[in-house]
Each structure stands twice: as C-alpha cells, then as structure tokens.
C-alpha cells in the first residue's frame, strides 16, 4: 500500500481559530484508492521549516501533497521552498503570465505586478491549470515518488486534485476499489436512525457504515471495498437499498443530493411552480432553492416579509391575526402561504414564521418555535416545530423543515 503525507502551508493555519481542513477531503480521496495518509504537517510562512518538512516527507513517503502558499504576496513561499527542498530552480513561464493578465482583464482589472511571481514554477514540473483562481499547481516526479503542489482554497485544489493528480495516482496505486453511497435523512434524529439502521449494517461487517448528524439532517455514509469495481458497487447498493426500505420517506436523498436539489427535481418532474414567504428565515429558503442552477423554471418569487406591514401589504395577512394569534402562529403561517400563492400565482407556496432568537421568546412560544405553512389550490395547512440551537441553527433548521414539508407534499400526491 502506498503511503502519503500532506503538508498545509500558511501562518493563518497556526492561529488559535483556524486549522487545516483541506487534508480531510484529500484523505478521503486517497483512502478511496487505497493510499494511506501517514503524517500531516501544518507549517507557517517559514522557509527553513517548510523546506525541511518537504524534504523529510519526500524521503519517508511515496506521495507528498502540499496545499496553500501559492498566492502572489511575500508570505506565499511554497514555490521557493518546495523547489529548494528538491534541489531545483524556479523557472519563469511567460505563457502563465499572459494567461493571468488575460484573466485579470476579463474581470475588468489590470494585473498587479506582484502576480508575476505566480508565473514561476519548479523546473521539470508538470504545470496544473487552475480554472478557479490565479495560482497554478505543480506535479513533480522524483525517483518514483510524487510531489503535488496545490493551491489552498478547496474550490481550487479539489478540482485540480481530481482532474490532474488522481488519474496519476490511480495508475500508481492499482487494484482495490471502493464504492461509496450517501443517504440523507430528514425528520429523524441520529439515535432513531441508528436504531433502525444498525441491524442492517451490522450484518455487513466488511462495509464501513457511519451515521453523522449534520445541522439539520442525518447522513448515512456507506463504503464498500472489494477487489473489483462491480463487486464493491453491488455490496454498497445492497446495503443502501435495505436502509432506504427500512427508513421510508425520511430518506430524502439516496445519492447525497441536497434537499434543495431534491425539491427542484420533484417540481421539475411535475412541471409545477413554488413561491416562498419568509419571516424568521429572512430569505434563506429562497437562497437555498436558487443555489441550484436552473431553479428559475420552478421558483417564481420570494417575499421576505420581516415586518408585519410587509406581511399585510404583500401577503394580505389580516391585521386581526397579529392581535389575536401573533405573527408567530399557525393562523399567520397559513395566511402567509395562502397569500403568497395567490400573489405569485404558483402551484405551491410555503411560509415560515418563527422566533430565531436570541430574543423574542416567551413561555408559550420559546425561542425555536417555528410555524411552516403550505398552500396549494386544494389545501392550506401548517405544522409547528420547536427547533433547538442558536439563531444560526434555528434559521437553518427552519429552512430545512420548510423544504422538507414541501417535499412531503410533493411525494404524497
């Protein structure tokens, strides 16, 4: 089995509030193809320590990956000290500078002079294009070992790893195959899911199954290993299917999709439209549904009716409801949903009104109390939740509950 080390570079990763997390994603990808991570180092903008770290890692392990320190400023020292660790020179490539200048021009800006540094790469390295940022990566092979030098931001290093490094590693690492499935569950807690799932996954001792709680949903990760690809796939799918059957409608995603993707797919399939009227979530539900490209096909309009005046003006909520039931009530949620559907002329409308905190709670309606309303031409109804957590979590969980409530209406019909 091949061994790897990961080196995260940047003084900010040595502060009390930040640390390297790039290595977690990279570790998963390496483990998937049977490469084990033996050591991780986090080093600051400190040339001598970086050079020593890279040299030692290359001596000890088959593969070394560095992340970060490829920016244009003086603290970005990765180019210089990885080169010296290998005993190589940095060479200037005009075409990298030209491409960078073009990139800046397309953003309507002039390339600052210091970005020229990013056109220097290690002599003899393969240059890895970066469609998502200004720093190119490098891949160096030295006596059968490999050094991959990647930028720090995940949005830049992940595609670069997948597109350029992974194919080389697959050729090196050979056989074992891993098939992963990820199910997502809404409306059941971690222990409730585990009680149902354990009897199933325990009968597959060679399949690694883990259950993780993630803000507002439970994730079930399944990883089956086998020598042949199809064998691993068959086992992973068998476990997944048994879990889906046992957990029923609570499983909202069978291949790791997000809630907003699933809701979008259901609406697209039915050719129907939706609008949202949000109070305590402040636009989060609309923002999530529009994260999905193409959502303009089914999402028509959102109203963030934070004030009562807005609830009356845009949604036609009767002033009497605020006096009698309050803005956080089933009556208000239903009036908001019904008003929104008529106003936006959609097939479905969802409303959210609640108390996100930290202030505004009462004995009868504590912080975390949220009403979700639903309206179609056939029915208008609502459901009440008391969601745990701080302001951020209450809002996030409310948005999830709202999307899940819509999902359940769509699969019922």
Residues 227-266 that bind its own copies (CB under 8 A): none
- DSSP class of residue 35 equals P
Site for its own copies (CB under 8 A): which residue of 359, 363, 364, 378? 359
CA atoms of 100 and 131, how far apart (whole Å): 11
CA dist 220 to 202, 210, 236, Å?
14, 6, 12
259, 230 contact by CB (below 8 A): no
State in angstroms the smallest separation of the CB of 191 from its own copies: 4
For the chain, the distance separating the N- and C-terminal CA atoms, rounded to the nearest angstrom, is: 52
* Total number of residues that touch its own copies (CB under 8 A): 106
Residues 368-387 that bind its own copies (CB under 8 A): 368, 386-387
Strands 177-185 and 217-226: antiparallel
- The yes or no reply on residue 347 touching its own copies (CB under 8 A) is no
Place of tokens 């009698």: 324
- The yes or no reply on residue 309 touching its own copies (CB under 8 A) is yes
For 188, the token pair is 């059941």
The contact mask relative to its own copies for 79-118 (x = CB under 8 A, - = no) is ------------------------x--xxxx--x-xx---
CA atoms of 256 and 240, how far apart (whole Å): 12
Cα diameter, the chain: 79
For its own copies, which stretch binds (CB under 8 A), given 77-85, 122-130, 239-247, 302-310? 302-310
- The yes or no reply on residue 290 touching its own copies (CB under 8 A) is yes
**Burial environment of residue 206 by CB neighbours within 10 A (0 to 12, 13 to 18, 19 or more):** exposed
Cα atoms found within 13 Å of the Cα of residue 274, Cβ hemisphere only = 29
Compare residues 157 and 281 and give the one whose CB is closer to its own copies: 281
Site for its own copies (CB under 8 A): which residue of 126, 168, 389, 408? 389
Residues 167-226 that bind its own copies (CB under 8 A): 189-192, 194-195, 198, 208, 210-213, 221
State in angstroms the smallest separation of the CB of 124 from its own copies: 28
For its own copies, which stretch binds (CB under 8 A), given 36-44, 91-99, 160-168, 236-244? 36-44
- The yes or no reply on residue 364 touching its own copies (CB under 8 A) is no
State in angstroms the smallest separation of the CB of 168 from its own copies: 21
Site for its own copies (CB under 8 A): which residue of 47, 72, 187, 361? 72
229, 206 contact by CB (below 8 A): no
């Amino acid at each position: 089995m091949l061994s790897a080390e990961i080196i995260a570079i940047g003084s900010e990763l040595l502060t009390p509030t930040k640390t390297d997390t790039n290595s977690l994603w990279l570790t998963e990808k390496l483990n998937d193809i049977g490469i084990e991570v033996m050591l991780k180092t986090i080093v600051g903008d400190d040339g001598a320590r970086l050079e020593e770290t890279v040299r030692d890692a290359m001596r000890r392990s088959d593969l070394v990956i560095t992340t970060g320190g490829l920016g244009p400023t003086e603290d970005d020292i990765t180019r210089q000290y990885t080169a010296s660790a290998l005993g190589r020179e940095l060479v200037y490539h005009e075409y990298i500078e030209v491409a960078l200048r073009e990139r800046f021009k397309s953003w309507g800006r002039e390339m600052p002079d210091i970005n020229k540094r990013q056109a220097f790469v290690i002599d003899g390295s393969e240059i890895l294009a970066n469609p998502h940022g200004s720093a190119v990566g490098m891949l160096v092979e030295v006596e059968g070992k490999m050094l991959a030098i990647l930028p720090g931001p995940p949005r830049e290093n992940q595609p670069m790893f997948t597109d350029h490094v992974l194919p080389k590693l697959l050729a090196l690492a050979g056989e074992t195959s891993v098939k992963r499935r990820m199910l997502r569950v809404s409306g059941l807690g971690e222990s409730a899911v585990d009680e149902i799932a354990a009897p199933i996954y325990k009968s597959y001792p060679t399949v690694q199954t883990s259950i993780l709680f993630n803000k507002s949903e439970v994730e079930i990760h399944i990883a089956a290993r086998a020598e042949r690809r199809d064998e691993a796939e068959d086992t992973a799918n068998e476990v997944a299917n048994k879990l889906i059957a046992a957990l029923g409608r609570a499983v909202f995603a069978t291949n790791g999709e997000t809630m907003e993707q699933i809701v979008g797919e259901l609406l697209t399939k039915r050719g129907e439209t939706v609008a949202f009227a949000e109070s305590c979530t402040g636009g989060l539900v609309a923002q999530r549904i529009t994260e999905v490209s193409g959502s303009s096909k089914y999402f028509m309009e959102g109203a963030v009716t934070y004030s009562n005046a807005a609830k009356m003006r845009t949604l036609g909520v009767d002033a009497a409801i605020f006096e009698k039931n309050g803005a956080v009530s089933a009556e208000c949620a239903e009036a908001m949903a019904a008003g929104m559907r008529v106003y936006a002329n959609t097939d479905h409308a969802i409303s959210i009104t609640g108390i996100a905190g930290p202030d505004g709670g009462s004995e009868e309606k504590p912080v975390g109390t949220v009403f979700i309303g639903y309206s179609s031409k056939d029915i208008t109804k609502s459901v009440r939740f008391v969601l745990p957590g701080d302001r951020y979590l209450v809002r996030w969980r409310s948005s999830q509950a709202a999307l899940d409530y819509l999902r359940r209406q769509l699969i019922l019909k």
